Structure 1
Amino acid sequence: MTLSLVHVQPTTGTVAALTATGGVAVGGYVHHAWRGIGACATQGLATNPWYPDTLRVVLSDSGSAGQALSQVVSADPGASRRQCLVMDRQGRAVVHSGTDNLPVVAAACRPTVAAAGNMLAGSEVIDALLWGFLEQACINAEAAWREVEPPHYRDDYEALLPEMLVAALEAALEVGGDGRGTRSAALRVESFCAAPIDLRVDWSETPAAELRTLIERVREPTFAGFLASLPLR
């Protein structure tokens, strides 16, 4: 019932997450990003809002994404109803997609970036989401997509992560998005060199467009100056 993308840059510790769904207020329940630690998206037929607590602890203790995911799934009697995407600080990603999730269920993982979804209009939604991000952020998008090389990111890409996330979402929505229609979307970017950006559209007929408008507001000089004045740690 949701599509998500997570990204971790191991060199700088920057972490980003994007989520969209056909339901209300996706940003309050699904994705979590922790700079220098990792990220997750907990979604599916029914999300488990307690997964992030354990995932963050395991990832903070230098556990791998696989170890963190295994711990939450094994302790959850409702794991068959969950889809959970986890990425650790080294950019390693794993996905759990329970058997009770409604089709179309899909996931695609590359080093440092991964996407997953359920109740999608088609598996091409996740392909479009991941490719949309790689195409903008990487200098070797084609090779990274074909898994011939790991992604190599453009020197200045982190400054434009919010815009890149929205463009990737737009590409996914163009091929169908959530099978019910997409009504809420959110993104978060966590960095050691800038204040967090946490934007949410809780209900809209055009959530991607409204996210883009919010980014434009954030980029306006007055608010950009306010963000620049905040302490970084």
Structure 2
Amino acid sequence: MTFSLVARCEETGMFGMAIASSSPAVAARCAYARAGVGAVASQNVTDPTLGPLALDLMQGGMSAAEAIAGVRDLGKFIEYRQVLAVDRQGRTAIHSGPKSLGIWTQAEAPNVASGGNLLANERVPQAIVDGYRAATGHIGDRLIAAMRAGLAAGGEAGPVHSAGLLIVDKVSWPVAELRCDWTEDCPIENIATAWGVYEPQLDAYIQRALDPREAPSYGVPGDD
């Protein structure tokens, strides 16, 4: 019921992930990233503890593959889980349990990994990886291009209703965390619209947190 990708920008070191599902509020349970460490998607009969676990293992020095092995050892009912990870060196790893739902498959390349379950066909994750690698610009633009490519390749077997985009950079909080928790329209396009509004302001929001004295004006009524 989900397709996603985790990615590292080889130029900036940013990490990001994007995800879509027929289930409500998918990003609230499945999206994880930590600046300087990596990004993780934990999906398919989701255990929300597995994302932080994988990030903790990578922060402790493990590679993505070692962290995913640790998730297999420490996680419960791991045969039901699908977990994707990318680490600070752009190495990727994926666990897809044999009890993943419906058509499930995965694809990897340097700096990007994709996986899905209850898919329309087995080509979707590779289309997502190819879409990310072919795209240019900000990692947010590339994540959206990848998700659009996955949807164009067939996406989920049924309609998707929720989506999310998560990006981390040099600070301890997400520099972008955009969600569409439920819609009868296309949640990926809703996220793309929100990203188009948010991306030009991203640096200003970071600066306001770090030192509001040096930040640009807020652009609200009464702000002079």
TM range (shorter): 0.7 to 0.9
Deviation, 1:10, is 5.7
2:9–2:139 CA contact under 8 A, matched in 1: no
Residue 102 of structure 1 aligns with an amino acid whose one-letter code is L
Give the aligned partner of residue 55 of structure 2. 56
TM-score, structure 2 normalization = 0.85
In structure 2, how many angstroms separate the alpha carbons of the residues matched to 1:48 and 1:225?
34
* Aligned partner of residue 41 in structure 2, secondary structure: strand
Q: TM-score, normalised by structure 1?
A: 0.82
State the partner residue of 1:186.
Answer: 164
- Verify: 1:203 aligned to 2:202, yes or no: no
Q: Does 1:84 align with 2:64?
A: no
State the partner residue of 2:40: 40
Task: Give unmatched runs, 5+ long, in structure 1.
Answer: 138-156
Report the Cα offset of residue 175 of structure 1: 2.2
Deviations, residues 88-133 of structure 1 (Å, cap 9, x unaligned): 1111111111111123111111111111111111112112211111
1:218 to 2:217 alignment: no
Gap change, CA 1:225 and 1:58, over 3 Å in 2: closer
Q: Answer whether contact 2:168 2:174 (CA < 8 A) is retained.
A: yes
CA RMSD of aligned residues (A): 2.1
Taking the TM superposition and a 5 Å limit, the aligned residue runs for 1:86-165 are 86-137=85-136, 157=137, 160-165=138-143
CA distance in 2, matches of 1:181, 1:216: 24
Residues in 1 aligned to 2:14 and 2:170: alpha-carbon distance in whole angstroms? 7
The residue type equivalent to 1:125 in the other structure is: V
Q: Residue 219 and residue 39 in structure 1: after superposition, are their counterparts in 2 closer, same or farther (change >3 A)? A: closer
Residue in 2 that maps onto 1:29: 29
Write out per-residue CA displacement over residues 2-22 of structure 1, whole angstroms, 9 at most, x where no aligned residue.
111111246643111111111
Count of aligned pairs: 209
Question: Which 10-residue stretch deviates more, 101-110 or 161-170?
Answer: 161-170
In the alignment, the residues of structure 2 paired with residue 127 and residue 195 of structure 1 have an alpha-carbon distance, to the nearest angstrom, of 27
Q: Contact 1:10/1:36 (CA < 8 Å) preserved in 2?
A: no
**CA distance in 1: counterparts of 2:97 and 2:20, whole angstroms:** 19
